Chain A
Amino acid sequence: MTENLKGHYAGFVSRLVAYTIDIAIVVILLIVGGWLIQTVNSFFQLNTSGALPTALVAAIAGVGALLVSATYFIFFWTLAGQTPGKLLLGLRIVGVENDPITLWQAFRRYIGYYLSALALYAGYWWVLIDDRRQGWHDKLAGTYVVYVWEARPGTYMQARLNDQQQSEGSPGEAGDSA
């Protein structure tokens, strides 16, 4: 039987799914925010078209989106150590001594997201090969992502792992007995 993985480092797919959920939430927030701004604009009949250059409007919107995203992630990481997506997947970000992460760590981690994405998302892929399953952003902030639920693989994977363990254990046992 595979051991309970609670407290162990969380893997790539769990983190990717949690991140996707968070991105979806941020996108929904941005859409709702944009709709609200548009509604207020039309309610007060503010004609802003032509008042500002399109590039500037796009830049303002981009900075706004960035701020919303940063606020979302840093707020949840600092407050609970997990965003709604991570909460759903049973993951938490902790410090090296399993302590809650600080605001400064959260800020560094968020900056690390962009650095990890720079070289073809190599910083994210790093989770797959790192022994502690840390991405570059985790290394930068000194954080780990761990399972906070009684994590076990699915029944199929459990059976496969058990078979693997048995096949690896048999020659040794045979050797010992010999």
Chain B
Amino acid sequence: MGEMIVVTDETEQIAGQQAPPEQTGRYIEVSSSDVKPLRSLTRLLIGGTLEGWDELLELIKSWEAGVSQGQEPASPISGTKPPPSVTIRYAAIGLAFNIQDRWLRRSKAALNIAGRTTDAFLTPVARRLNENLRLRPARNRFEKFVKRGETVASQWVDRGRLEETHSRKLVREAVQEGFNSSMDQLGQAPALQDLIRKQSAGITQDVVDEVRARTVSADILTENLARSVLRRTPRRNLPPPERIRPEEESN
């Protein structure tokens, strides 16, 4: 295994939460400042699995909720008889679900029976072993061994708790970083920038052209209206300025 270090403020800072008071001074293997690729990779794997599982569960919950909201209660027997192939398919699906339910029920029952049997068998044996004076030295050694095991297990729990928090944070950071860099890269892609620019410019130009076309229509309409009210002849279409020559102007 790696190095053993005391839980310090530094490790607490890395884990992002306060260690329980009883842990202070205990030896827990949590590396902090030195980055080891293998360890970071392990953290990424664990964190990714945990975060991914949580996300998946949340998604499944929301999907199920959505489906059950919009679903009408299906009648088990429909009026028209479906074709044989469909009936077989339904039967296969129903069987799969029935098997799953049965296995779950049976495994639960089997676990209960196993627990009770073990208890019934081991309790008298343990009582005899406890009451036997000749086995006291061996029992003391066993108790010490158990105690040491408990300490080690407790260290594993502490380490696991800190590592899980750290791994989750690492994965979130990695995902965020990956997302940001992807967005940056997408944003810097000349083809995409060009597309966005063209689309924005195209939409703006369309709007401007539409407004201009409408004002030109309004120009003609108001002019015709004004001239008809004043009983004037329609406007003479004189040549635009670029075609006007000084001699034409003087004429």
Contacts and interface: CB of A to CB of B under 8 A. Distances in A.
A161 B215 contact: no
Interface residues of B, number: 29
A95 B249 CA distance: 13
B241 A97 contact: yes
A10 B240 CA distance: 10
B212 A149 contact: yes
Interface stretch (B34-42, B47-55, B217-225): B217-225
Main secondary structure of the interface of B (DSSP, over half): helix
Interface in A81-124: 88-90, 94-98
Given A96-B244, A97-B241, A128-B226, A157 B212 contact: no
B127 interface: no
B217 A157 contact: yes
A11 B222 contact: yes
Given A14-B212, A129-B232, A152-B213, A97 B240 contact: no
B216 A161 contact: no
Contacts of A131: 235-236, 238
Given A10-B219, A13-B219, A154-B217, A144 B241 contact: yes
Contact of A153 (B217, B226, B240): B217
A129 B230 contact: yes
B216 A96 contact: no
B148 interface: no
Interface in A139-155: 144, 146-147, 149, 151-154
Interface residues of A, number: 35
Contact of B219 (A12, A129, A149): A12
Contacts of B221: 157
A9 B243 CA distance: 12
Contact of A13 (B209, B210, B218, B240): B218
Contacts of B212: 14, 89-90, 149, 151
Contact of A7 (B227, B241, B249): B241
Nearest to B249: A96
Interface string B115-142: 0000000000000000000000000000
Given A7-B240, A128-B222, A144-B241, A13 B235 contact: no
Contacts of B219: 10-14
Interface in A1-33: 5, 7-14, 17
Contacts of A128: 222-223, 226-227
Contact of A129 (B216, B217, B227, B249): B227
A128 B224 CA distance: 8
18 contacts: A10-B219, A11-B215, A12-B222, A13-B219, A14-B219, A17-B215, A88-B211, A94-B241, A96-B244, A125-B226, A131-B238, A133-B223, A133-B235, A146-B240, A151-B216, A153-B213, A154-B217, A157-B216
Interface of B: 208-223, 226-227, 230, 232, 235-236, 238, 240-242, 244, 246, 249
